[in-house]
Amino acid sequence: MEADATRVVASGVRFQRLVAANRRTDIMMASIGILVLMVASALLASVLVDLILTGWPRLINPDFYTNFPSRKPEQAGIISAMVGTALVMLVTAVVSVPLAVAAGIYLEEYAPKNWLSDIIDINVSNLAGVPSIIYGLLALGLFVYGFGLGETILTAGLVLALLILPVIIVATREAIRSIPRDLREAAYGLGADKWQTVSHYVLPAARPGILTGTIVGLARAIGEAAPVITIGALTFIAFLPPPPVQSTPPFVNFDWLTSPFTVMPIQLFNWVSRPQAEFHINAAATGVVLMVMTLAMNGLAIYIRYQLRKHQRS
């Protein structure tokens, strides 16, 4: 009896020690995580603060947002670049998200496990690592000359869509894979067929992951200059594309798709390389606006996610 009691006590002590050791590891990992997070945030914050401080005189000047580029740094503005970036990103999002999500669903849910799927699989992962200038050259040959789409907003939107397809496909697949098997089994059990299961249960559950992938992809696309220059984006342009909405029927207008354009990163790049220090101030201010546009895009995605969740519950 006594021996048994000792054994129980001993094992209890051992158990407590184990718990304490695990807790120490937990705390250590958590602190490392927080440290890494803080370093990353501090880096981003310092870049942003530096840009804001440098670009402040331009950021507070409303002309900066409504003027076209100019040789005079104090009069130069980013209206054409802002509109260009917004329209190009619109095309990119509309083209890439449905395509990538469809591809992700197919690869995860429908594709038979054979060598062909494996090849597609490997290719998608590899494409995510291809330098963006390669996409630019592809688009120059295929879209600009091959399809005759010209140096337009449509071409730029398409090339950036291609660029971020792999990112969103991979994110979609990860998101779908993380859905518990039980959910599917439950749907099948109620008599749902494959498509009903995917569209009613799997996709809604995977939405946060897909949206996150979309944000990451679009945030990459918005900062790209190289492929957009390759397909012939302009640097100086003092008019805007025709507006996509009009007051007369049919109220929408797609002429803007074929308009010449410029985008924010090109404008930024051009100003950074100028000799005059005043242009560097403009470049910093452009950097801030670009970051704000990216944040706004993320904010929009988070808002959409929030709205979708509310709908799901009700």
Site residues (CB under 8 A) for other proteins? Answer: 69-72, 83, 86-87, 89-90, 93-94, 97-98, 101, 203, 210-211, 229, 232-245, 259-260, 266, 270, 272-277, 280, 300-301, 304, 308
CB of 155 to other proteins, least distance (A): 13
Alpha-carbon distance of 160 to 43, in angstroms, equals 27
CB of 83 to other proteins, least distance (A): 5
Q: SS3 letters for 24-57?
A: HHHHHHHHHHHHHHHHHHHHHHHHHHHHHHHHHH
Helix H or strand E segment including 285: helix 277-313
CB of 65 to other proteins, least distance (A): 12
Q: 89 or 288: whose CB is closer to other proteins?
A: 89
Residue 72 contacts residue 302 (beta carbons within 8 Å): no
**Residue with the two structure tokens 């993320």:** 298
User: What distance, in Å, lies between the first and last C-alpha atoms of the chain?
Assistant: 61
Backbone angles phi, psi at 114, to 5 degrees: -140, -175
Q: 204 or 223: whose CB is closer to other proteins?
A: 204
Sign of CA dihedral 152, 155, 161, 164: negative
Task: Specify which residues 252 forms β-bridges with.
Answer: 245
CB of 265 to other proteins, least distance (A): 13
Task: Specify which residues 245 forms β-bridges with.
Answer: 252
CB of 203 to other proteins, least distance (A): 8
CB of 10 to other proteins, least distance (A): 59
Q: 75 or 123: whose CB is closer to other proteins?
A: 75
Q: 3 or 245: whose CB is closer to other proteins?
A: 245
Residue 83 contacts residue 192 (beta carbons within 8 Å): no
Q: 83 or 288: whose CB is closer to other proteins?
A: 83
Q: 57 or 232: whose CB is closer to other proteins?
A: 232
Q: 165 or 229: whose CB is closer to other proteins?
A: 229
Tell me the two tokens of residue 86: 């917004």
Backbone Cα Rg of the chain: 26
Q: Please write down the long-range contacts of 182-189, taking CB distance under 8 Å and 24 or more positions apart.
A: none
Alpha-carbon distance of 184 to 197, in angstroms, equals 7
**Quick one: 155 exposed, middle or buried, by C-beta within 10 A (0-12, 13-18, 19+)?**
buried
CB of 36 to other proteins, least distance (A): 30
Q: 90 or 128: whose CB is closer to other proteins?
A: 90
CB of 306 to other proteins, least distance (A): 11
Mapped onto helix, strand or coil, the DSSP state of residue 125 is helix
Residue 118 sits at the vertex; the CA angle it makes with 162 and 140, to the nearest 5 degrees, is 20
